[in-house]
Structure 1
Amino acid sequence: MDLFLQRLVDGLANGAIYAALALAIVLVFQTSGIVNFAQGEMGMLATYLVWALTDVGVPVLLAILAAMVVSFAGGAALERLLIRRIDPEDHLVTVLVMTGLFTLFGALALIFFGSDGRQVPSPFPEGSLALGSVRVPYATIGALLVLGAVCAGLAVLLRSTKLGLGLRAVAQNRASSALSGLPVGRLLGIGWGLAAALGALAGVLVTSLGLYLEPSMMLPVLVYAMAAATLGGLDSGVGAVVAGLLLGVAESLAVGYVKVLGTESALGVAAVVMLLTMALRPSGLFGTTKVARV
């Protein structure tokens, strides 16, 4: 029983990261109708910025804040200069552009930083909290608290502010929002900026759990985050969070109890979850089923 609880705790830590990146994917999809395959790579580049700043003596919390601000600006600029020129209904072009960005960002990291792993200082204290025979690392507690704060902040933003109402209006009907006088272009940029900042936070959470920073660090996280966004529903932030936590726990239990599965092999489970969801319930568990008039 103690081993089960320990694996449950470990799974929640990973699940918080998957949920954070899945939230970023959902936010982009809601505002622009595009699935951003490069979301994880954007977070990886932001984490390199955190490493570079802390390497020259900047306090880690200030470095994380700076990376999130730069990521916000970069995400908004990317939407303004490139994404806005893409028709989201042209799915082939969208996939090609997103795949190109994924490849480009990974190549840039490899060119400028190399493939060697780098250790990023954790914003959380070392050690763990003992709950009976189960030990909960402070990094796990911190990751869950950060996820909770992000969810609460987004809920307040989207439901209680004019900016949030504008973002929701654009997500529901971009054409009607433009006709009603809303600054659709600016709102789309803000949506991409917020998603990029969330991706930066997810990257920092990955390294806070003890993993080394390297160019391919976010690839497995992206697979689980995509699975979480698909399972929860690409138009549901709540679904992304719930599915992310569930997948994190499922991964931890599967690797622990199914002997033939290693950490890398478990990625196949996430892919199967995506395929089954798209086949059986394309809108996801929490998503809205859209009905087209014919």
Structure 2
Amino acid sequence: MLDTLASGFVIGAAYASLGLCITLLSRMGGVVNFAQTAIGLFGSYTFLVLSDSSTPLWLAAMIGVIISGLVGAFSGLIMARWFNNSDIGTRSSVAIALMIGFLSIGTRLFGDSPRQAPALFEQLSLTLGNVNLDGGLVASLLLSVLLAASLDRFINKTHIGIRLQAFAAKPTTAELIGIPSKKLTILIWSIAGGMSALAMLIIITSSARNANYASLSLLIIPALCAALIGAFHNFYWTLIGGLAFGMLEALILSNALVAAYAQTIYLPVILIILLWTKRKDKWDGQRA
């Protein structure tokens, strides 16, 4: 049972990290980024290609994170150049178009055959009592918790973070008061791209070593669910949501009778959350 929960924490923390990237862009860029995993996959598959060519793993991982950061910056450039003053619906639609384009290009570049990934975090393994904590678990938890705490503090407690929120709310007004909104858009997308690559690296080097490109791209669904738990605003609730989804998925996968339906849990979760968040509007309408 403890081993099952531990494996759930690995994938759940990675879901949380991806969800935190989505939440970051939602708060700072005014967009629901459906392309988040597609951007991260460029870096993680670059890592796989380089590791196959005997490149040191740490260097391959660093290059992979940089590649996704550049892809993220390119996406941010598109948003800043042509959609800076668009509403969130338009920008999110552009993100869907970017997702489709990046997945098409990525599948063409890297193929869709399952790839074996090397173990990246073996040195971080710990033993607590009778439970052996995999290095991927340690790295995944550290990344997600540090991301949540750092992003929350940066956005809510620093002068730059407050300025970024002003930019997200009113890009044109932000430009008028001297906030370089276009440069900040590119920077935010680049940071989110690099972080998503690191999260995807943890996934492919831990619990999903034989997954292919297309199936890994579907991790956007639990990542969006985690961000939805946090209402695309609260980093800590996004973290909790990602961890909860990972453990729930691990528990379902451990039961042979329902393991085939593990990926179906997200639809009812989304519906329940949406109904719950809209309950006040419905009740107010009925009272009126």
TM-score range, shorter chain: 0.7 to 0.9
CA contact (8 A) 2:17 2:143 kept: no
Q: Does 1:223 align with 2:221?
A: yes
Residue number in structure 2 paired with 1:209: 206
Residue number in structure 1 paired with 2:138: 141
CA contact (8 A) 1:120 1:213 kept: no
Residue number in structure 2 paired with 1:266: 262
User: Structure 1 length normalisation: TM-score?
Assistant: 0.83
Q: 1:69 aligns with which of 66, 70, 74?
A: 66
CA contact (8 A) 1:126 1:139 kept: no
Q: 1:242 aligns with which of 240, 255, 259?
A: 240
Q: Does 1:166 align with 2:160?
A: no
Residue number in structure 1 paired with 2:274: 278
3-state SS, counterpart of residue 254 of structure 2: helix
Question: Aligned partners of 1:26 and 1:127: how far apart in 2?
Answer: 28
CA contact (8 A) 1:34 1:94 kept: yes
Question: Aligned partners of 2:278 and 2:11: how far apart in 1?
Answer: 25
Question: Aligned partners of 2:46 and 2:259: how far apart in 1?
Answer: 31
Q: Compared with structure 1, are the counterparts of its residues 69 and 58 closer, same or farther at alpha carbon in structure 2 (3 Å cutoff)?
A: same
Percent identical residues: 26
List runs of 5+ in structure 1 lacking aligned partners.
284-294
3-state SS, counterpart of residue 266 of structure 1: helix
Shift of residue 157 of structure 1?
3.8
Query: For residues 122-179 of structure 1, what are the alpha-carbon distances to aligned partners after superposition, in whole Å with 9 as ceiling and x for unaligned?
Result: 3211795443333322221122122233334434543565543432332344344223
Q: Compared with structure 1, are the counterparts of its residues 96 and 170 closer, same or farther at alpha carbon in structure 2 (3 Å cutoff)?
A: closer
3-state SS, counterpart of residue 214 of structure 2: coil
User: Structure 2 length normalisation: TM-score?
Assistant: 0.85
Shift of residue 7 of structure 1?
1.9
Which aligned pairs between 1:53-68 and structure 2 lie closer than 5 A?
Answer: 53-68=50-65
Question: Aligned partners of 1:81 and 1:280: how far apart in 2?
Answer: 35
Q: Compared with structure 1, are the counterparts of its residues 239 and 139 closer, same or farther at alpha carbon in structure 2 (3 Å cutoff)?
A: same
Which aligned pairs between 1:113-192 and structure 2 lie closer than 5 A?
Answer: 113-125=110-122, 129-155=126-152, 157-159=154-156, 162-192=159-189
Relative to structure 2, which stretch is displaced further, 151-160 or 43-52?
151-160
Question: Aligned partners of 1:11 and 1:213: how far apart in 2?
Answer: 17
Residue number in structure 2 paired with 1:286: none
Moved over 6 A (4+): none
In the alignment of these two chains, the number of paired residues is: 277
CA contact (8 A) 1:32 1:88 kept: no
Residue number in structure 2 paired with 1:6: 3
Residue type of the alignment partner of 1:270: Y
CA contact (8 A) 1:68 1:201 kept: yes
Shift of residue 84 of structure 1?
4.2
Residue type of the alignment partner of 1:204: L
Question: Aligned partners of 2:127 and 2:72: how far apart in 1?
Answer: 40
Q: Compared with structure 1, are the counterparts of its residues 245 and 84 closer, same or farther at alpha carbon in structure 2 (3 Å cutoff)?
A: farther
CA contact (8 A) 2:30 2:88 kept: no
3-state SS, counterpart of residue 116 of structure 1: coil
3-state SS, counterpart of residue 115 of structure 1: coil
Q: 1:81 aligns with which of 73, 78, 83?
A: 78
Shift of residue 230 of structure 1?
0.7
CA contact (8 A) 2:30 2:169 kept: no
